[in-house]
Amino acid sequence: MGLLSFLAPKPTISDKDLSNGLRWMALEGGFSIGFFSITTSGFLAAFALALGANNLQIGILAALPFAMQIVQIPSIWLVERVRRRKLIAVSSWFSAQLLWIPMALIPLFMDVPGKGAISVLLLLMTFRGIFSAICNTAWNGWIRDLIPQTILGQFFSRRLVIATVMSMLFSLGAAFFVDFWEERVVSQEMILGYVYVFLFGAIFLGMASPVMMALIPEPLMQPAPVPHMSLKERLVAPLRDRNFRRLLQFLLFWGFASNLAIPFFAVYMLVRLGFPLAWVIGFSILSQVFNIIFLRVWGHYVDRFGSKAVLSVCVSIYLLVILGWIFTTMPERYFLTIPLIFILHIFMGIATAGVNITIATIGLKLAPQGEATSYLAGASLAVNVGAGLGPLCGGFLADFFINRQLNLTLSWMSPDRIIELPALSIIGHDFLFAIAFVLGLTTLSMLSVIKEEGEVSRDVILKSLVFPARDISRPPSAVPQYNLISTATFGYLRRFPLPGLDAVLGVTAYQIAEAAKAATSATIRGKKLTTRLVKAFERRLARVWKTKAVLDEHAVEITREATRGAMHVVDEKPISVDELIEPVATGIVEASKKAGIQPMNGIKGASQGVIQGAAETGLDLSEATQRIIEAARKIAEEMGISQEEAIIQAARGILTAAEEIGPEAAAEVVDNLPEQVFTEHEQKDAK
């Protein structure tokens, strides 16, 4: 036992031990998920197809890792009996990773394609799923007691960033290697490319993961609130907890609904769309890029708003993505297929980032102290049972619908011709995506009844993206200047009752704000600041507001988000309010005028953005109000428009933003408005 002393739990965990442990945990996540990226998704599906798998066997292969999580039930007894979670987790995880070596070697010892080869693969995946389930049971309780609750979101987002970067690097490298190999060998040797990839991953990544896991300290298991509970009592405890039972129900149905479709995305691109493996992995990399970008955003929101609200937003985005796959063919590839796949992977990455963080943290938050092992095992089991049943049903349904098709066609009939336009065509895997979307809508409603301490509503998350309130959040600055949906019509999106569109709107508004911030940050120094800002705003925001037809309707919203984002430059640069507000407001109004927005709308939107940005960055609202009124006066003078009307529009924007922030903010800005403006506002209210 002395040889295994490094796997023993510690009576106390010092700050240094915790810091080192979190560092090793982050690295372990990078290596394990980096290896995961080259043993799943497109690689595993392509490898299984080469071994001779059909749709049902692809579904079974995807379901096995989840279905085997049923082993967590007896594993609870093992953990409670041995009470050395680190020992159990490290030994079982080492065994699980080691099994990838014989799986990789299947083509060297068996005929492929063939029933025997795919059967052996399924058998080895079954054993790996058993070891993985044992590891998960010990691991969940271990990290629940190790990581402070206040940093769960931030830590897991950082861990997932490291993991996603390594996943991108290894999966892209492996994809290029496989394509390179297949172009230079005869067909019988093509499968060897996967053999080399899996062997490399197992030896250099898979084996590194349990080594790093062994370096993470384990605190002593705390005694349960009710000592000497039987295994049956421990298993039933999460079900007796009404709130946690609701969480289990949601996790079960979400795991089923999402995995009815997700495992078949890669197969769909490889078989139905005819994409080479490098393309499939390339789209996966694109998704992971946006996953990294938004991990910081969602991690920050989880710690501030709670897991439930973030999960609601991200699940709705994911449902919209699943629905979007139906339209990638009509019924075959067409000119919008690749652009649509591109957009779907962007939002898939955004949604996955939030879902992964919240699924990892919500169970940790709701599990009672001292009972984490059984509660988290129950949560993990619910997710995995659903995720295991999903691909199995998906495989059956894919085979059933493979020769079935539903077409909706728009027809125009005239005396001399008949014109038919395909509006919708559903065939094969498209039925899976439609069914998964409908089931997902039902699942989303289950989330609303779960109670989480300190939770906020979904609307607060969306407002923090679209129309932030004071003291709610300060958005991270790591969102790049990508044009996510450059033609988004804000008003229409708000009114359209399709789940996910409101969240997409939030992401787009967030992108506008960050693009404006980047422009301001790049030009904040220099004598001709306003002139430079106009050019910068035109360049950075051109793609966002290039749809001229909707500029007038959404002008206030666009200029508001741009100004609000520009105000956040004070987070990074030492600049005073008077140096910032006037050039920013003037620059955005001038740039928006050149884009086709009426100056009065630009002034109103910029005024709203100034007050919102000032509230978010902790600037004085009274001073910000005075500066934006003065800026409106100067803008009117320079543009030759009515100063009185410009000031009134600025005041309306200021009051609208302040009222959203709260009564105190509204009172503060009203005290600093010119008398004629205040009177006009009173008259408006009286009417």
- Token pair 């569109």 is found at 501
Reported as a single tens digit per residue, the pLDDT across 219-274 is 887 765 555 556 566 667 777 778 788 888 888 888 888 888 887 787 788 778 88
- Residue 127: predicted pLDDT: 92
Reported as a single tens digit per residue, the pLDDT across 345-366 is 888 888 888 887 787 677 777 7
Q: Which residues pair with 411 in a beta bridge?
A: 420
Domain count, the chain: 2
372 and 516 in a single domain? The answer is no
Query: Is 157 contained in some domain?
Result: yes
Query: Is 489 contained in some domain?
Result: no
- Residue 546: predicted pLDDT: 47
Q: What is the mean pLDDT of residues 170-185?
A: 80
- Residue 123: predicted pLDDT: 92
What percent of the chain is predicted at pLDDT more than 90?
Answer: 3
Q: For residue 600, what are its two tokens?
A: 């009065």
Q: What is the mean pLDDT of residues 479-486?
A: 30
Q: What is the mean pLDDT of residues 520-527?
A: 54
Query: Is 602 contained in some domain?
Result: yes
Domain boundary pick from 349, 371, 401: 401
Whether the pLDDT of residue 504 is over 60: the answer is: no
Query: Is 447 contained in some domain?
Result: no
Backbone angles phi, psi at 493, to 5 degrees: -60, -40
381 against 497, higher pLDDT? 381
Task: Give me the domain span that covers residue 334.
Answer: 7-401
Counting beta carbons within 10 angstroms of the beta carbon of residue 488, is it exposed (0 to 12), middle (13 to 18) or buried (19 or more)?
buried
DSSP string, 148-187: -GGGHHHHHHHHHHHHHHHHHHHHHHHHHHHHHHHHHS-G
Reported as a single tens digit per residue, the pLDDT across 367-402 is 776 666 677 777 777 877 887 788 778 877 877 887
- The pLDDT mean for the chain works out to 75
Reported as a pLDDT band with limits 50, 70 and 90, residue 675 is: low
Please report, for residues 14, 327, 355, 359, 499, the alpha-carbon distance to residue 440 in angstroms, rounded to integers and kept in the order given: 44, 18, 13, 16, 10
541 and 674 in a single domain? The answer is yes
Q: For residue 250, what are its two tokens?
A: 């949601």
396 and 538 in a single domain? The answer is no
Give, to the nearest 10 degrees, the angle between helix 599-617 and helix 643-661: 40
Whether the pLDDT of residue 638 is over 80: the answer is: yes
Reported as a pLDDT band with limits 50, 70 and 90, residue 512 is: low
Query: Is 475 contained in some domain?
Result: no
396 and 528 in a single domain? The answer is no
Reported as a single tens digit per residue, the pLDDT across 558-614 is 777 777 777 776 655 556 666 677 777 877 788 777 767 788 888 888 888 888 888
Q: What is the mean pLDDT of residues 165-169?
A: 80
388 and 499 in a single domain? The answer is no
527 and 394 in a single domain? The answer is no
Query: Is 329 contained in some domain?
Result: yes
pTM of the model: 0.54
Query: Is 615 contained in some domain?
Result: yes
132 and 246 in a single domain? The answer is yes
226 and 327 in a single domain? The answer is yes
Domain boundary pick from 343, 369, 401: 401
515 and 621 in a single domain? The answer is yes
The residues near 488 (Cβ < 8 Å, ≥ 6 apart) are 504, 505, 508
Please say whether the beta carbons of 440 and 254 come within 8 A. Answer: yes
120 and 228 in a single domain? The answer is yes
Backbone angles phi, psi at 53, to 5 degrees: -75, 145
What helix, strand, coil percent values describe the chain, rounded to 5? 75, 5, 20
502 and 358 in a single domain? The answer is no
Backbone angles phi, psi at 267, to 5 degrees: -60, -40
Domain boundary pick from 401, 420, 438: 401
Query: Is the omega angle on the peptide bond into residue 331 within 30 degrees of 0, that is, cis?
Result: yes
Backbone angles phi, psi at 412, to 5 degrees: -120, 120
**Domain with 338 in it: what CATH number?**
1.20.1250.20
Please say whether the beta carbons of 577 and 620 come within 8 A. Answer: yes
Query: Is 426 contained in some domain?
Result: no
Reported as a single tens digit per residue, the pLDDT across 112-159 is 788 888 899 999 999 998 998 898 888 877 887 888 766 766 777 778
Q: What is the mean pLDDT of residues 448-461?
A: 61
498 and 394 in a single domain? The answer is no
Counting beta carbons within 10 angstroms of the beta carbon of residue 384, is it exposed (0 to 12), middle (13 to 18) or buried (19 or more)?
buried
Please report, for residues 36, 43, 103, the alpha-carbon distance to residue 100 in angstroms, rounded to integers and kept in the order given: 11, 13, 5
- Residue 503: predicted pLDDT: 46
Q: For residue 483, what are its two tokens?
A: 């044009």
